[in-house]
């Protein structure tokens, strides 16, 4: 036995339990923070956590969905893989909404769930749920570990799959017997998997074809998305548009890939995007999509989308090519690799007259929409003026997190993002309740930066218990509640398209300041315009978490607007009278 132990030590192998092997695997991947909620089936892993809490910090959320969104916020601002732990049954199923959100928004996560012992699988044991079957459609990969010997290899594969190529969530379900069982533990990071090719090598012939189209185009137009950020290719992208001189517009998740004030940044695409950014899609002669997936909120009616233009699509995921919009030239690969090659092949140009068309359209939008949002003459407060003052006070340097709804669109439109990875929001799934826990996770990931949450009264109440998590960690999240006492986005549609029949959108809200103070968080409420600027400054100056409630006018709507099924050319700038 002594001889065997010497051999194990010599090979840098230790004898330990499966639960401890999970912790050591996380440390092997450089994980320093885990979000989660304990329970019976994952208790051995939580017990092992106590032996490693000098290396791994655990954030105890108040709900498993809160853990998911917090891990998403953490992953989005740091670029690291977020890690979540939960127990079996309801603990695991409470993760599903967050997993689905992470899947569609390409957020790298590893979710570790406890499971009943192997001998009880399929018996409807207490808190047994087939989380592998449930999560399969919304994970990049999932796996059930029934033997402790599998743990090091499966954990290494999980992190590799989550972070490589197009990132996404991975779920590892671990039977309780595998957590208790012993194994000879040695950890090796995964760098390759047979049959899994996370990114293809750039095809230089395709890139040459793309360069020819770009060099010959008279009205080229770049649409960029989160792929630029996920590929850490912000600098390469900027070099590309500055050499090509092409105007560029962004999807909501691509907002921080290029500073908003850049002269070639022409605004936000989509249902509530900028007027020029939308209408010029159907006037360009070449559309260059970089790291975006042609979401329906961006394209509107596909039958009338950019039919006059040739299309170049730079994308890491081959499944996105020709899925919604047919590409004349598809450049498959990591944009951090493909963009520099393309930039080297294109001519240095400027498109002054073409860009002037965007700026002329911008003047129309400013007069009709923006000036009224940012500098309202009506009595009630608007969401736009809150964001304008926040811009002035932070100089665009804060990390901004939003929930989902009208405030999300207003924040996307008006906050002047200047830094990389400075905007965290739920894009493809549009998950109400995302904001509060995601803001907490963002602050945990970037404690040195100002983190401001913009949230509505509807979304806040879906995960309001996470105020308790913020209180426990004392993370200095600054919360701005825009309270209009309605489910604002639904109410806007009811106002415009359902004859103001406000069916089940009015909210009888609690006293939010008392709720915040009950969780140990300082709060203040603003009703009148003269109070607003000083209140925002007071919030930003406060050293801990702070809750600022701003009463917003009920019928403060978001325009411009491209309604469902409409063409991007059919932009509504103001409500019909």
Residues recognised as catalytic: 64, 126-127, 176, 489
In 369-457, the DSSP E strands lie at 399-402, 423-424, 451-456
Q: Are the beta carbons of 251 and 225 closer than 8 angstroms?
A: yes
Rounded to 10 degrees, the C-alpha dihedral 390/98/291/569 comes to -70
Q: Is the dihedral of CA 376, 382, 386, 388 positive or negative?
A: negative
Length of the chain: 577
| Distance from C-alpha of 518 to C-alpha of 468, rounded to nearest angstrom | 9
- The pair of structure tokens assigned to 350 is 């400027």
| Per-residue burial over 503-533, b = 16 or more CB atoms within 10 Å of its CB, e = otherwise | eebebebeebbebbeebebebbbbeeeeebe
Q: What is the 3-state secondary structure (H, E, C) of 521-560?
A: CEEEEECCHHHHHHHHHHHHHCCCCEEEEEECCCCCCCCC
- Tokens 């962004």: give the residue: 250
Alpha carbons 237 and 291: distance in angstroms, whole number: 10
CB 331 within 8 A of CB 207: yes
Give the chain's largest Cα–Cα span: 88
- 366 three-state secondary structure: helix
Neighbours of 478 (CB within 10 A): 23
Query: Cα dist. 131→99, 138, 162, 259 in Å?
Result: 12, 11, 18, 41
- Contact of 299 with 565, CB cutoff 8 Å: no
Classify each residue of 381-391 as buried b or exposed e, where b means 16 or more C-beta atoms within 10 Å of its C-beta.
Answer: bbbbbbbbbbb
Distance between CA atoms of residues 432 and 40, nearest Å:
29
Angle among Cα 121, 123, 127 to the nearest 5 degrees reads 75
75 contact partners, CB below 8 Å, separation of at least 6: 81, 82, 107, 108, 109, 441, 445
Q: Which segments of 351-508 are extended strands (E)?
A: 399-402, 423-424, 451-456, 478-483
Q: Is the preceding peptide bond at 329 cis, omega within 30 degrees of 0? A: no
């Amino acid at each position: 036995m002594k001889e065997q132990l010497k051999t194990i030590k010599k090979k840098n192998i230790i004898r330990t339990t499966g639960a401890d092997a999970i912790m050591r695997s996380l440390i092997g991947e450089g994980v320093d923070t885990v979000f989660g909620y304990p329970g019976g089936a994952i208790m051995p892993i939580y017990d092992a956590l106590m032996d490693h809490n000098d290396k791994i910090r655990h954030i105890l959320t108040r709900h498993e969905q809160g853990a998911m969104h917090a891990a998403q916020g953490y992953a989005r601002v740091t670029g690291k893989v977020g890690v979540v732990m939960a127990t079996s049954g309801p603990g695991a199923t409470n993760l599903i909404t967050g997993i689905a959100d992470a899947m569609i928004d390409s957020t790298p996560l590893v979710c570790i769930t406890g499971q009943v012992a192997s001998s009880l699988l399929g018996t409807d044991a207490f808190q047994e749920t087939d989380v592998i079957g449930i999560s399969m459609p919304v994970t990049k990969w999932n796996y059930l570990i029934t033997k402790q010997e599998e743990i090091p290899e499966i954990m290494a594969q999980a992190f590799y799959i989550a972070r490589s190529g197009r990132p996404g969530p991975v779920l590892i379900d671990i039977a309780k017997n595998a957590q208790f069982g012993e194994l000879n533990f040695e950890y090796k990071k995964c760098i390759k998997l047979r049959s899994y090719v996370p990114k293809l090598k750039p095809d230089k012939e395709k890139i040459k074809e793309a360069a020819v189209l770009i060099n010959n185009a008279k009205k080229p137009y770049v649409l960029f998305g989160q792929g630029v950020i996920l590929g850490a290719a912000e600098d390469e992208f900027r070099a590309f548009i500055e050499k090509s001189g092409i105007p560029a517009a962004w999807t909501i998740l691509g907002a921080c890939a290029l500073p908003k004030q850049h002269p070639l940044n022409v605004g936000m695409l989509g249902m509530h995007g900028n007027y020029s950014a939308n209408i010029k899609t159907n006037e360009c002669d070449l559309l260059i999509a970089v790291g975006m997936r042609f979401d329906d909120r961006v394209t509107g009616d596909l039958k009338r989308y950019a039919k006059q233009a040739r299309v170049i699509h730079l994308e890491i995921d081959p499944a996105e090519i020709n899925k919604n919009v047919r590409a004349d030239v598809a450049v498959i690969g990591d944009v951090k690799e493909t963009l520099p090659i393309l930039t080297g092949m294109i001519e240095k140009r400027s498109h002054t007259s073409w860009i002037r068309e965007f700026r002329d359209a911008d003047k129309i939008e400013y007069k009709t929409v923006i000036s009224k949002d940012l500098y309202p003459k009506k009595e009630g407060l608007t969401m736009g003026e809150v964001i304008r003052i926040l811009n002035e006070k932070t100089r665009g340097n804060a990390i901004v997190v939003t929930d989902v709804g009208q405030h999300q669109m207003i924040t996307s439109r008006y906050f002047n993002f200047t830094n990389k990875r400075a905007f965290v929001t739920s894009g493809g799934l549009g998950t109400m309740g995302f904001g509060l826990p995601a803001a907490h996770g963002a602050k945990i990931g970037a404690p040195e930066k100002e983190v401001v949450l913009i949230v509505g009264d509807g979304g806040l109440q879906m995960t309001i218990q996470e105020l308790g998590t913020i209180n426990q960690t004392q993370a200095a999240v600054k919360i701005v509640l825009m309270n209009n006492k309605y489910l604002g986005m639904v109410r806007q549609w009811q106002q415009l398209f359902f004859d103001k029949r406000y069916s089940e959108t009015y909210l009888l809200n609690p006293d939010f300041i008392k709720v915040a103070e009950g969780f140990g968080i300082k709060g203040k409420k603003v009703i009148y315009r003269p109070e607003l600027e000083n209140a925002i400054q007071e919030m930003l100056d406060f050293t801990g978490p702070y809750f600022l409630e701003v009463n917003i006018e009920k019928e403060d709507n978001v325009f411009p607007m491209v309604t469902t099924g409409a063409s991007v050319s059919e932009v509504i700038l103001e409500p019909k009278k």
